[in-house]
């Protein structure tokens, strides 16, 4: 039995974690790392190095991998995935899927034409908590579902927005980048909520309303609310920010007539609150690369590119919306350290609105933003509809 060969494209930054995953699968006798691809040669490459995917695909067919992991900037997703699938290789593509809905449609078409597998790296789709939540809903634990929301209140410092040339950009030249709160750091919140509610493909949402704001001096959004309705009538609300005072675990909230389910998707943790019971359940998780390898022998893909269509509809709405509106200075405090939340390290100090302290750890805090995000998710209304102070015209 020959082990499947895996190549990792993009090994600096996030790609490092993919290398560790492959090493783990190697140790368990499930796969073998056959090549690493990166324009920059790694100091200590664990496998033969290629400068580009083209170089790898042009090499001797005997060294062609069975699977590639693409951990590259978003605007390269479609061309790289297309090239790989056309060469007969199955693909694990880092999220977000592609830079536009049109690109997504093309990606799905390529997968169908070539018959290759295209898995997208929304890691939470491997969480056993997700099917458990869907099962709870189906069994009526919370009665009739009245709305599904996601709340993400995170902290991102100036260093984050300086991490790459495309960080915080909506476009570079004529290419879409869409590196904002909704579509990148908190993309999991959006994708997971939609998955739980049953919105999977690009025809599952009737419409999307965006309400995009920013407190950082960037092009993209960092504090956003969205409202969307599925073609089956399910209402979704999102309150997402990277400008919170402290980072808290992002949550998907399923509200029903008889209770609610809260899913902390980063931790595979489910809280069920009904009139009858208050319970907290901890789940495990299946790796998406492992699942992709098994899908080659018949198992179902956990995050097929097709099933990220609903998320791509949201990304499209964000991409084509007007540029995010700056939040007035009077609603923003600047902090000069990172407060990672309870038990998470030294507490940051909130400086006055005047100072704007220098340093890479500085970050804006939109006043009361956590409460407004919670309401946006729970009431499925945007910040503007709710009348959040920074949205009110003076």
Partner 1 sequence: MVSGNARGAGQRRVTATIGDVALVAGVSRATVSRVMNGRSTVDATIAERVREAAAGLSYRPSNAARSLALGRTQTVALVVPDLGNPVFQQILRGVMDGAAEDGYRVLVADTVEDDQQEGAIALEARMRCDALVLVSPRIGDAELSALIADVEPVVLVNRETGGAAPSLVVDYEDAALQVVEHLVSLGHRRMVYLGGPVRSASDELRRAGLDRARKRHADLEILDLPAGPDIQAGHAAAPAVLATRATAAVAFNDLVAFGLLAGLNEAGVAVPADISVAGFDDIELSRYATPALTTVAVPQAELGRHAWRELHAVIDDDAHPASSARFTPSLEVRGSTGPVPQGTERVHVTDDDGVGVRDVQREEIPTVPPTAAPTWSVPAGPDADTVVLTCGDGLELVRRDAGDRMPKVHARRPYLHPVHTLAGVPLTDVSPVDHRHHYGVGIAVPDVNGTSHWGGRTFIEDVGPTLLKNHGRQTSEGVRVEAAPTSRPAGAGAEAGEVLVEEVLWSDEHGDPQLREERRVTARLLPQTPGSAAAPGWVLDWRSTLHADHGPLEIRSPATNGRPGAGYGGLFWRLPLAESTRVLSASGTGENQAHGSTSPWVAFVQQQGGRSTTLLLVQPSQVRPWFLRSAEYPGACPALAWDSPLLVPEGGSVQLDLVAVLLDSALTSSAAAALAADLTDGGRR
The neighbour count for residue 320, using CB atoms within 10 Å, is 12
Residue 236 phi, psi dihedral angles, 5° rounding:
-120, 140
- Nearer Cβ to partner 1 (281/347): 281
Residues 334 and 337: their CA atoms lie apart, in Å, by 9
Residue 284, judged by CB atoms within 10 A of its CB (0-12, 13-18, 19+), counts as exposed
CB of 285 to partner 1, least distance (A): 9
- Nearer Cβ to partner 1 (265/390): 265
CB of 61 to partner 1, least distance (A): 26
344: enclosing H helix or E strand:
none
Cα dist from 289 to 30, 70, 188, 228, whole Å: 11, 11, 17, 31
Q: Any idea what DSSP says for residue 233?
A: -
* DSSP track, 45-90: -SS-EESSHHHHHHS-GGG--SEEEE-S-GGGHHHHHHHHHHTT-E
- Nearer Cβ to partner 1 (28/394): 28
- Nearer Cβ to partner 1 (109/279): 279
Sign of the dihedral defined by the CA atoms of residues 314, 319, 325, 327, in that order: positive
CB of 125 to partner 1, least distance (A): 13
Interacting residue ranges for partner 1, rule: CB under 8 A = 28-30, 128, 131-132, 135, 270, 276-284, 290, 294, 297-298
Residues 365 and 351: their CA atoms lie apart, in Å, by 10
Strands 118-120 and 90-93, bridge-based pairing = parallel
Residues 170 and 320: their CA atoms lie apart, in Å, by 10
Strands 145-153 and 5-9, bridge-based pairing = unpaired
- Nearer Cβ to partner 1 (280/323): 280
- Nearer Cβ to partner 1 (56/129): 129
- Nearer Cβ to partner 1 (277/322): 277
CB of 348 to partner 1, least distance (A): 28
- Nearer Cβ to partner 1 (45/134): 134
CB of 283 to partner 1, least distance (A): 5
CB of 155 to partner 1, least distance (A): 28
CB of 206 to partner 1, least distance (A): 31
CB of 249 to partner 1, least distance (A): 16
If we measure between CA atoms, which residue out of 307, 305, 316, 358 comes closest to residue 94?
305
- 105 within 8 A of 126, measured Cβ to Cβ: no
- Nearer Cβ to partner 1 (103/290): 290
CB of 26 to partner 1, least distance (A): 13
- Nearer Cβ to partner 1 (131/249): 131
Beta strands in the chain (DSSP E): 5-9, 32-37, 49-50, 67-70, 90-93, 118-120, 145-153, 171-172, 175-176, 205-214, 223-230, 235-241, 251-256, 259-264, 269-274, 278-282, 325-326, 332-335, 363-366
CB of 187 to partner 1, least distance (A): 24
């Amino acid at each position: 039995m020959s082990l499947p060969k895996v190549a990792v494209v993009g090994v600096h930054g996030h790609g490092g974690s993919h290398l560790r995953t492959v090493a783990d699968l190697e140790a368990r006798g499930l796969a073998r790392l056959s090549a690493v691809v990166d324009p920059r040669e790694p100091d200590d490459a664990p496998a033969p190095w290629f400068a580009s995917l083209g170089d790898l695909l042009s090499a001797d067919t005997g060294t062609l991998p069975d699977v590639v992991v693409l951990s590259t900037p978003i605007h390269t997703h479609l061309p790289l995935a297309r090239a790989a699938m056309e060469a007969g290789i199955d693909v694990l593509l880092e999220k977000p899927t592609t830079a536009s809905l049109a690109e997504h449609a093309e990606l799905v078409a390529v997968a169908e034409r070539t018959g290759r597998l295209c898995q997208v790296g929304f890691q939470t789709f491997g969480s056993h908590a997700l099917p458990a939540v869907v099962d709870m809903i189906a069994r009526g634990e919370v009665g009739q579902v009245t709305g599904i929301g996601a709340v993400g209140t995170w902290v991102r410092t100036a260093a984050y927005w300086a991490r790459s040339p495309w960080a915080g950009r909506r476009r570079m030249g004529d290419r879409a980048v869409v590196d904002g709160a909704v579509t990148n750091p908190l993309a999991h919140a959006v994708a997971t909520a939609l998955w739980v509610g049953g919105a999977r493909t690009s025809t599952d949402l009737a419409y999307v309303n965006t309400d995009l704001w920013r407190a950082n001096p960037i092009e993209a959004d960092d504090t956003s609310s969205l409202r969307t309705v599925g073609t089956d009538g399910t209402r979704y609300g999102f309150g997402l920010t990277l400008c919170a005072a402290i980072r808290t675990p992002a949550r998907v909230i399923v509200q029903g007539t008889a209770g609610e389910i809260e899913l902390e998707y980063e931790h595979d943790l489910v809280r069920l609150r009904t009139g009858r019971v208050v319970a907290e359940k901890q789940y495990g998780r299946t790796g998406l690369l492992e699942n992709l390898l098994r899908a080659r022998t018949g198992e179902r893909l956990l995050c097929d590119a097709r099933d990220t269509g609903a998320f791509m509809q949201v990304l499209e709405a964000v991409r084509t919306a007007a540029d995010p509106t700056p939040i007035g200075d009077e609603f923003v405090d600047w902090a000069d350290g990172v407060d990672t939340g309870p038990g998470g390290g030294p507490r940051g100090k909130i400086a006055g609105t005047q100072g704007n302290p220098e340093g890479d750890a500085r970050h804006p805090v939109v006043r009361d933003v956590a409460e407004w995000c919670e309401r946006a998710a729970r009431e499925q209304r945007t910040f503007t509809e709710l009348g959040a102070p920074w949205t009110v015209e003076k």
